[in-house]
Amino acid sequence: MEKKVYDKIENTILNLNVETISTDRKNVLQPLIDFVQSKVTANKDANINFICTHNSRRSHLTQIWAQTLANYFNFKNVTTYSGGTEATAMFPMVAETLKNTGFEILELSESKNPVYAIKFNDNTNPIIGFSKKYDAKFNPASGFAAIMTCSQADGGCPFIAGAEKRIPITYDDPKMFDNTQQQAEKYQERSLQIATEMFYIFSNIKK
């Protein structure tokens, strides 16, 4: 039987503890559960675009964990994307953090905005990670849920063209620990928080 995720990722998933999510935070996550559930029930595609200011850290982590856990729970009609209010580059520590969790990361292009292929198992198409604006041609143009992962983008983007739903699910930026001794620890901490919440979301959707 094909493994849904690599062993090291599975070990991380099995050790996630949804009891760490507060009731208030579960209320923040509920609209995304409702959006995906409505699409699964109607047998329609669920497209989710995770949006942050620079599309460099949090939006990538949420996109990648959401896609991984959608696959883990066997929701084949879920596709995740990410974008920013501006394009910069996926921060290298994001790739490093994912690699340490068991993802296979292949750098497809070396540039100021490198393109990565991110794999969570051997046979599923890789997630393509690079920084782009939320309305880039790479992303869906309509019928998607826009998940605002940082308060700056949420406040600065009152309208997301084409979004069927707009849902703020914001995270603290690990960028504040860049170039400190805590950098690796804090990126891992944020990654695991996001993984835990995405696990909670997809574990609460009924087929």
pLDDT tens per residue across span 11-59: 999 999 999 999 999 999 999 999 999 999 999 999 999 999 999 999 9
Q: What is the pLDDT of residue 159?
A: 78
pLDDT-based confidence at residue 131 (cuts at 50, 70, 90): very high
Q: What is the pLDDT of residue 1?
A: 63
CA distance 158 to 170: 15
The 8 Å CB, 24+ separation contacts for 3-8 are 3/121, 3/122, 4/71, 4/72, 4/74, 4/121, 5/68, 5/71, 5/72, 5/102, 5/120, 5/121, 6/102, 6/103, 6/104, 6/120, 6/121, 7/102, 8/101, 8/102
Distance of CA 113 to the CA centre of its chain: 18
Q: What is the pLDDT of residue 73?
A: 97
* Correct CATH for 47-203 of 1.10.3720.10, 3.40.50.2300, 3.40.190.290, 2.115.10.20: 3.40.50.2300
Domain boundaries, the chain: 47-203
Mean pLDDT score across all residues of the chain:
95
Of the chain, the percentage scoring pLDDT greater than 90 comes to: 91
Beta-bridge partner residues of 109: 115
Q: What is the pLDDT of residue 95?
A: 96
Q: Establish how many alpha carbons lie within 13 A of residue 154's alpha carbon, considering only the half-sphere containing its beta carbon.
A: 13
Q: What is the pLDDT of residue 58?
A: 96
pLDDT digits (tens, 9 = 90+) for 178-196: 999 999 999 999 999 999 9
Asked if pLDDT for residue 2 goes beyond 80, the answer is no
pLDDT digits (tens, 9 = 90+) for 84-94: 999 999 999 99
